[in-house]
Amino acid sequence: MKVDKMSISLDPELGDAVRSAAAQAGQPVSSWLAEAAASKLRAEALAQFIAGWEAEHGELTAEEVARAEGEIGLAAGTAAA
């Protein structure tokens, strides 16, 4: 598998938290960070899609949001991490 190696800098507290979270997940730091980055990109793509949809069709109602959360298995009023 081809990989794209990167070097990143984090403040010490964030670095410690990332290492700890990766260890708790039983993953290498690079895998944990890759999953976090992929999740962030999905969230941004969804936000962009929703903004475009709302620009065309109007703002989603609280009822529509609650129904969508139910359909994807989220408790009402919570966000996926």
- Angstrom distance (rounded) from CA 45 to CA 80: 14
Residue at 6 is within a domain: no
Residue at 48 is within a domain: yes
What pTM value is reported for the model? 0.76
pLDDT tens track for 6-55: 999 999 999 999 999 999 999 999 999 999 999 999 999 999 999 999 99
Domain count, the chain: 1
Max CA separation in the chain (angstroms): 45
Q: In which domain, by residue range, is 20 found?
A: 12-72
Contact between 60 and 54 under an 8 Å Cβ cutoff? The reply is yes
pLDDT tens track for 40-53: 999 999 999 999 99
Residue at 17 is within a domain: yes
